[in-house]
């Protein structure tokens, strides 16, 4: 995006050292699909209304399930890392270079 807004934003961000996300849960990326939470018994998007306390209790079920197999975790981490890099490149008007 090459609008005056994004040009200004890039300048301001650069003045402060660039982008920084201090609170990532990369290990939970792409776990909204059915099967990752509560051994697949809970459909996440249909239950988004539950309390934050109940949501936090469900995190352990993600850690115990297929999302934390080495292969699945590596694949999801690669996907989310590529997505983040591509988003940053897009913000700065650079062609996406990572598939």
pLDDT in tens, 9-42: 888 888 888 877 778 888 999 998 888 888 888 8
pLDDT in tens, 53-91: 988 888 899 999 999 999 999 999 999 999 888 888 887
Taking alpha carbons only, the member of 66, 77, 36 closest to residue 45 is 36
Direct distance between the N- and C-terminal alpha carbons of the chain, in angstroms, rounded to an integer: 20
At 74, is the secondary structure helix, strand, or coil? helix
pLDDT for res 1:
63
**pTM of this structure:** 0.67
d(CA 20, CA 18): 7
Q: Is 36 exposed, middle or buried (0-12, 13-18, 19+ CB in 10 A)?
A: buried
């Amino acid at each position: 995006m090459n609008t005056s807004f994004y040009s200004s934003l890039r300048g301001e961000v650069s003045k402060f050292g660039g982008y920084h996300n201090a609170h990532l849960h990369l290990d939970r990326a792409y776990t909204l699909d059915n099967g990752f939470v509560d051994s697949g018994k809970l459909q996440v998007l249909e239950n988004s209304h539950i309390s934050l306390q109940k949501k936090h209790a469900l995190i352990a079920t993600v850690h115990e399930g297929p999302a934390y197999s080495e292969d699945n975790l590596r694949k999801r981490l690669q996907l989310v890392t590529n997505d983040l890099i591509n988003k940053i490149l897009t913000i700065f008007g650079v062609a996406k270079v990572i598939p």
